[in-house]
Structure 1
Amino acid sequence: MNTDADFEIFLVTFPGLEPVLCAEAQAKGFREPMAVKGGVTVRGGWPEVWRANLEIRGASRVLARIGAFRAFHLAQLDKRARRLAWGDVLRPDVPVRVEASCKGSRIYHAGAAAQRIATAIREELGAPVSAEAEIQVKARIDDDLCTVSIDTSGESLHKRNHKEAVNKAPMRESLASLFLRQCGYDGAEPVVDPMCGSGTFVIEAAEIAAGLHPGRSRRFAFEMLAGFDEAAWQRLRGTGGGTRPDLRFHGSDRDAGAVAMSRANAERAGVADLTEFRHHAISDLAPPAGPPGLVIVNPPYGNRIGDSKSLYPLYGALGQTLLARFSGWRVGLVTSDPSLARTTLLPFEPPSAPVSNGGVRVTLFRTGPLP
């Protein structure tokens, strides 16, 4: 593995949120960030791949693009796949699996394409091929151009390794971080979540404010690649989280189990001292002392928890409480049903396009500072 190499790195994210992730990549100092369909491309070498996995909050995974070539039929795919310098990236003693997709190409059978590439790797490098392998090679054949990438993340990056306890219909940490960024949150203001569930928004906000890297507690697939530099990785991993902000992040829920869950998750994430979780109803919600900030909430919605008609009173009570007590605060509300959002009577700006959260199309509704 040449740490001086320079190639394209693809940060996968939720379709519709590519510009938000692009802004994050830019803020974190990655080179040439560009929003494209399904993610963001940046340029760099292996140290940037490690850093993207460690530091980027809004990505689902990080792909290292290691080669591209034209292939008009399977025999040509086989021949050109064998020319790739697999030994520069993969280890002969570590199993791999290959996944292929074909679009608008003369090679149209993805399974056959994956099989040819897997055979090339096995015969040229000697690496075993296994459907259960942690290292995944991805080949995308689009308009007869085959782009070969290595999935350097392994498990999806929303798995921070802090949240053991989850409630029904949890929000993915990566999506929560992008919604926080869309609401203009940068770690410099308090955050309140009055339906905190397992604490995702509150914990993400506290981690951002404390400068903690999202990938600090987990392992990654790139640790099993050829030439991985353990010492350099440990030095990089040791950065971040040097300061504790003079801010608190607040969650509450009418479910006592959710509150206990959130506290345990905050403890595991190392932000228990920055967070406060309380058990009470929406009607008892009051702003914390100090300057206004952001209220962000992912309430139940019909196709997620149950029947939406029964939720109108809950959304109405939320809107009433926020309008009465949270003057100067901004609000971000995530729901799959625009009519539920309207029930709050909050002065929402025109919403952005819906995104998929666990197969459900959800929309972030935002306000400016409340009157």
Structure 2
Amino acid sequence: MNPDTSFDIFLVSTPGLEDVLLAEVVEKGFANPTLSPGGVTVQGGWPEVWRANLELRGASRVLARIGSFMAFHLAQLDKRARKFPWGDVLRADVPLRVQVTTKASKIYHAGAATQRIETALRESLGATISPEAALVLKVRIDDNVVTLSLDTSGESLHKRGHKEAIGKAPMRETLASLLLRQAGYTGTETVVDPMCGSGTFVIEAAEIAMGVNPGRSRSFAFENLASFDPELWEEIRAKPPQATDLRFYGSDRDAGAIRMSRTNAERAGVADVVHFENHAAGELTPPDGPPGLVIVNPPYGGRIGNKKLLYPLYGTLGQTLLTRFKGWRVGLVTSEPPLAKATGLPWKPQGPAIAHGGMKVWFYQTPPLR
């Protein structure tokens, strides 16, 4: 594959927030973005693959579509897989895992198809096939079209590489950034999280304000491909943080959560612009300065504990915000619409369901509180 060749790059999204990821992709200047279930497709070459992994806060994975061909039976699949120019992209010395899905095709046995492709890779490239390999070749056989994609991310992109400490029901960084964007946050206002857990919303907001890349602290699967150019990658990666006068605030009644938040902020390099305090939501007061955004992922039934005990907690949070946070917008994540209602906050109409940790949640938002 020529380094200048353009191909489809599929950016995997949190289900239910594809349109929010699309807005980020457009803002970052990727070519020909189109929305589809589960994510956004753009066009570009390898530098765009690297940039997507490095810069996009909302994408969970970046898949590079390296080729496709027709195959109506296993012998044809075998023959065409052997002819495919694997060496343009893959290195023989880097172990590889193959995942096949089939749909509405004459080749309907995914296991048999996997075997043929693995054998073709071994015999035509000398590849090492391993079920534990970090590098994954995803093969989709749909209506007899075989589409080959490489997972260029490796570990899911919510693993930014600087968070060691997490609470018992963590918010993924990718989801947090999409919800901040959905709430209208652009890095130019104060953000407060009154039940901050391990600090995800607060740290993401601070990073956005400082203009740092989410993938700056980690490595990616694409670094082990034949198409990788280390010098060009270092150029793309180099980006100093911007100074910001804004401050970001998190609080939690769990002292352990506050210790985690502080450690995570330190590792992320944002400790100078964030403040974490140990107190209950009812003790929350607004920081000095103009109103901004309160964003919160409180406990909810399926996630933590007995939901009957949560109604007073939501009620207290709502009262505190209504009385002390005039002019602020509020965003709240919950799996239980009655809990959102218990806050007494003036929610806008309920948006679509979002997949989070194996359950459906909703993101409730208010206009500026009056």
Equivalent residue for 2:188? 188
Contact 1:213 1:240 in 2 (8 A): no
Q: Are 1:272 and 2:263 counterparts?
A: no
1:3 positional shift:
2.5
Alpha-carbon separation, structure 2, partners of 1:117 and 1:109: 13
Q: Tell me the alpha carbon deviations over residues 41-91 of structure 1, each in whole angstroms, 9 at most, x when there is no partner.
A: 000000000000000011111000001122222111112222221000001
Equivalent residue for 1:345? 344
Equivalent residue for 2:229? 229
Q: Name the SS of the counterpart of 2:81 in structure 1.
A: helix
Alpha-carbon separation, structure 1, partners of 2:203 and 2:197: 11
Equivalent residue for 1:323? 322
Alpha-carbon separation, structure 2, partners of 1:71 and 1:179: 41
Equivalent residue for 1:72? 72
Q: Are 1:150 and 2:150 counterparts?
A: yes
Q: Are 1:99 and 2:93 counterparts?
A: no
Runs of 4+ in 1 over 6 A off after TM superposition: none
1:232 positional shift:
0.9
Write out aligned runs for 1:1-371 (5 A): 2-241=2-241, 243-371=242-370
Q: Tell me the alpha carbon deviations over residues 230-271 of structure 1, each in whole angstroms, 9 at most, x when there is no partner.
A: 111111111252x11110000000111111110000000000
Alpha-carbon separation, structure 2, partners of 1:60 and 1:301: 24
Contact 2:102 2:140 in 1 (8 A): yes
Q: Name the SS of the counterpart of 1:290 in structure 2.
A: coil
Contact 1:18 1:37 in 2 (8 A): yes
Q: Name the SS of the counterpart of 1:251 in structure 2.
A: strand
Alpha-carbon separation, structure 1, partners of 2:85 and 2:31: 25
Which amino acid is 2:136 matched to? Q
Alpha-carbon separation, structure 2, partners of 1:342 and 1:273: 36
Q: Name the SS of the counterpart of 2:41 in structure 1.
A: strand
1:140 positional shift:
0.9
Q: Which structure 2 segments of 5+ residues have no match?
A: none
Q: Which structure 1 segments of 5+ residues have no match?
A: none
TM-score w.r.t. the length of structure 1 is: 0.98
Contact 2:25 2:56 in 1 (8 A): yes
Alpha-carbon separation, structure 2, partners of 1:291 and 1:83: 63
Q: Name the SS of the counterpart of 1:302 in structure 2.
A: coil
Contact 1:293 1:330 in 2 (8 A): yes
TM-score w.r.t. the length of structure 2 is: 0.98
1:2 positional shift:
3.2
Q: Tell me the alpha carbon deviations over residues 112-138 of structure 1, each in whole angstroms, 9 at most, x when there is no partner.
A: 212211111111111111111111100
Q: Name the SS of the counterpart of 1:65 in structure 2.
A: strand
1:32 positional shift:
0.8
Contact 1:330 1:366 in 2 (8 A): yes
Cα RMSD of the aligned pairs, angstroms, is: 1.0
Alpha-carbon separation, structure 1, partners of 2:70 and 2:191: 50
When the two structures are aligned, how many residues end up with a matched partner?
A: 370
Q: Name the SS of the counterpart of 2:302 in structure 1.
A: helix
Identity of aligned residues (%): 68
Which amino acid is 1:308 matched to? K
Alpha-carbon separation, structure 2, partners of 1:99 and 1:323: 51
Contact 1:254 1:279 in 2 (8 A): yes
Alpha-carbon separation, structure 1, partners of 2:296 and 2:180: 10
Q: Name the SS of the counterpart of 2:232 in structure 1.
A: helix
1:227 positional shift:
3.5
